[in-house]
Amino acid sequence: MTLPLSDLVAAIAHDRGVDLPPDWVAPDLDPAILAGSDGLVALAAAAGWAAPQRLGPRPRAQHFPLLMWSGQTGWAIAEQWEDESRLRLRGDGSGLTVERPDDALFYEPRFPAIAARRTPSAAARVFWRAIMARRDVLVSATIATIMANVITLATSLYSMQIYDRVIPRAGYSTLWVLTIGVIIALLLDFALRTTRALMVEREAARIDEEVSEFFFARAQAVRLDARPPGVGTMAAQLRGLEQVRAVMSSGSLFLLADLPFALLFVLVIFALGGPIALVPLISLPVALGIAWGLARLIRRDTDRAQISANRKNGLLVESIDAAETVKANRGGWRLLARWNSLMDEVHAAEDPVKRWTSAAGSIFSTLQQLAYVALIAFGAVEVAQGRMTTGALIACAIVAGRVNGPLITQLPNFIVQWGYARASLKMLDDILRLPTDEGPDAGTLRPARVEAAVRMEGVRFAYPGARDGIVVPRLEIAAGERVAIIGGIGSGKTTLLRLMAGLYAPQAGRVQIGGLDAGQIAPDVLRRHVGYLPQDYRLVNGSLRDNLLLGLSNPGDDAVMAAAAQTGLINLINGHPRGLDLQIAEGGRGLSGGQRTLTGLTRLLLARPDLLLLDEPTANLDDAVEGAALSAIAARLGVQSTLVVVTHKMRLLSLVNRVIVMVGGQVALDGPRQEVLQRLQQSARRPETGGAGEGRAVTGDAGAPAIGGMNGLAGPNSLAGNRRRNDAASRIYCDHRPVERRCDRLSGLVDLGGA
């Protein structure tokens, strides 16, 4: 029995490395339609994809695997030709060789392009590729432009005939014929220009959609450890698309399209008036030279203005996002001073641009008038000497207006627009240079299952500008283990967890998940098998249901409510009149930190990953809710499920059987829970004068700092002892044997509250 069509399409997508959205199959599709020969077309239309490509009766090798339909087999995946008449199918998950049915239809699905994987070297290439993908429209627009510019000559020729033939001879019949003819020509010109404008604007909008999708997906795909420090500045860089889009408007494109026809108009003037064609032949290069000089003069200023504007936008985003902190600490005055300084920088960069633009506009206007005066004066001499007619002079003046009129007067604004667009393209190039989760040339693995085991070898990682970082020579966590990571503030616990989750890439060494290099596993596959809960869980704008099902298929409200009941989120749902449709503001504003954490925990229960990485999952929860959350986590863990939790609470250690102690970015202790806790007690009870290097880790790495003296279970709130009673016991002595490291002071590694 063959699989449903949706499963077959998903299998083809898996073979081609395409990540389909969780709910890509429309729920209201009729199964009878999907089973028929038009099922794939209906499925693609419902998903918003392009229509599938129907292939010939004998597809070539490069098209396989593909979808095949016949009345005999229904839908199946054809893997290859076995011989001239037999096909190998994969319709039910196994190989099956059949004779090619007479009514067989072969289709190749057209999946949506994965924008983030397209990695051109420059932003300009992104726009160029989108433009060249619409060659047919460009050809049609070019033909329309040629016809429109040729028809434009009708008015000048009409004027010449009127002055040379109609007026001297009172030829009214000729007048009416010429007038009707030129009106028809003008109507045709209007139709061509209107059609061209609508066609170009429509394609420009589609290009904008395609390019915007690419850069948005690219920004999302940037590795977290490689993101610029200013979120607002990066958002402003993406806004540079608007500057480029302004250059791609129909007016700018028509200016560039009409510019080559200036030479045609000069030839027409030469045919009508002979030597007076020297006037536009000189004025046009002069105008273009001035335009080129203007572009050179404003280049640096437009770059500076764009950078300052981006920083200004970053400060605006930062001040709004941190409004609570700013208000509580009276920081508004300082931010206002920074804002005013940035405004001064923007104006200092924009003022020269405005001055040069204004001067260029005046120069071009004067040049246009001078060219007209020179043309008329030169033409008057030619008419007086009988070498051309009055009508020809008037026609030449009209045609010269096409050269020195719109083409010249629009150049200053176009050059300024291009200056800002050029600066924006450089900013977009900076985004393209940032590394992504999935490299452009890296082969990606898409295994059906990833074992919940972690292995780190020779891993090193440091934040930009930091002296020290994470150093893990070797660390293994087997599938089914329950591990806690404890340590002082800044000891590297969260960074280690992000490395395990594949959110950060090690600068040296490698991280393996299930025996596979995490960098080679497709990001969507890795995220599906690894559940990561950050310490500060942020929600996105939308409903509570949207946040709970973020990146997941909808299991139905019953499953959602059951998971919410386990974690305690059910109280928020039942306590609000809109329930799951509760609207969430950006970042989850309006919800407490505990409610945001419960939302993240509930989503993890719905996702059911095999590897759970939790960073302080109960830090914002009270005792009662914490108990429910711990019970939900414990109930979720299966035999092969792996739990790695960063915590300072003793209560969470009841979930684990192994504890890792981090000190200064290295693993100082690693072993069974009771042994590590006992070792910490013993270290804390030693006299403070105990020398460095007195102790060794239960299972430590060579070169890692060992524990010599550490806080013990001396009080009710701290595993390391009550600091007020035994401050001397709060010091850790690091081993100076392999490297010189200062000793870290650590107090209260684990909180016993609620134990």
Give the span between the Cα atoms of 365 and 731, in whole angstroms: 79
pLDDT grade, residue 94 (50/70/90)? low
pLDDT value, residue 352 = 82
Above 90 in pLDDT, residue 644?
yes
**pLDDT tens digits for range 663-706:** 988 999 999 999 988 888 877 666 544 433 333 344 444 444 44
Query: Tokens 């990833």 sit at which residue?
Result: 450
> Is-contact 751 717, C-beta < 8 A?
yes
- Strand 74-81 to 86-89 pairing: antiparallel
Joined together, the tokens standing for residue 247 give 């250059």
pLDDT value, residue 611 = 93
pLDDT grade, residue 218 (50/70/90)? confident
Its pTM stands at 0.70
pLDDT value, residue 161 = 87
Laid out side by side, the sheet with 482-487 consists of 530-533, 611-615, 642-646, 482-487, 658-663, 666-672
CA atoms within 13 A on the CB side of 289: 7
pLDDT grade, residue 481 (50/70/90)? very high
Average pLDDT value for residue range 724-737: 32
Distance of CA 468 to the CA centre of its chain: 30
Select from 3.40.630.40, 1.20.1560.10, 3.40.30.10, 3.40.720.10 the CATH code of 123-432.
1.20.1560.10
Joined together, the tokens standing for residue 478 give 């087997």
Q: Where are the domains of the chain?
A: 5-112, 123-432, 454-655, 672-730
**pLDDT tens digits for range 570-581:** 999 998 888 888
Select from 1.10.3430, 1.10.3470, 3.30.420, 3.90.70 the CATH code of 5-112.
3.90.70
Above 80 in pLDDT, residue 332?
yes
Laid out side by side, the sheet with 454-461 consists of 470-477, 454-461, 508-513, 516-517
Above 80 in pLDDT, residue 486?
yes
Average pLDDT value for residue range 252-264: 72
Q: Torsions phi, psi of 403, nearest 5?
A: -80, -50
- If you ran DSSP here, which 8-state letter would residue 735 be given? P
**Percent of the chain scoring above 70 in pLDDT:** 85
pLDDT value, residue 249 = 62
pLDDT value, residue 240 = 74
Torsion of CA 686, 687, 691, 693, to 10 degrees: 10
Same fold, 5-112 and 123-432: no
Q: Which CATH architecture has domain 454-655?
A: 3-Layer(aba) Sandwich (3.40)
Give the span between the Cα atoms of 702 and 555, in whole angstroms: 48
Average pLDDT value for residue range 252-260: 69
**What mean pLDDT, rounded, does the chain reach?**
79
**pLDDT tens digits for range 173-215:** 888 998 998 899 889 989 888 888 888 888 888 888 888 888 8
Q: Across the chain, which distance is largest between two alpha carbons, in Å? A: 123
Strand blocks (E) in 538-652:
542-543, 583-584, 611-615, 642-646
Above 90 in pLDDT, residue 513?
yes
pLDDT grade, residue 244 (50/70/90)? confident
Rounded to a whole number of angstroms, the distance between the first and last alpha carbons of the chain is 56
pLDDT value, residue 92 = 53
pLDDT value, residue 694 = 36
Q: Torsions phi, psi of 74, nearest 5?
A: 70, -150
pLDDT value, residue 746 = 38
pLDDT grade, residue 479 (50/70/90)? very high
> Is-contact 139 46, C-beta < 8 A?
no
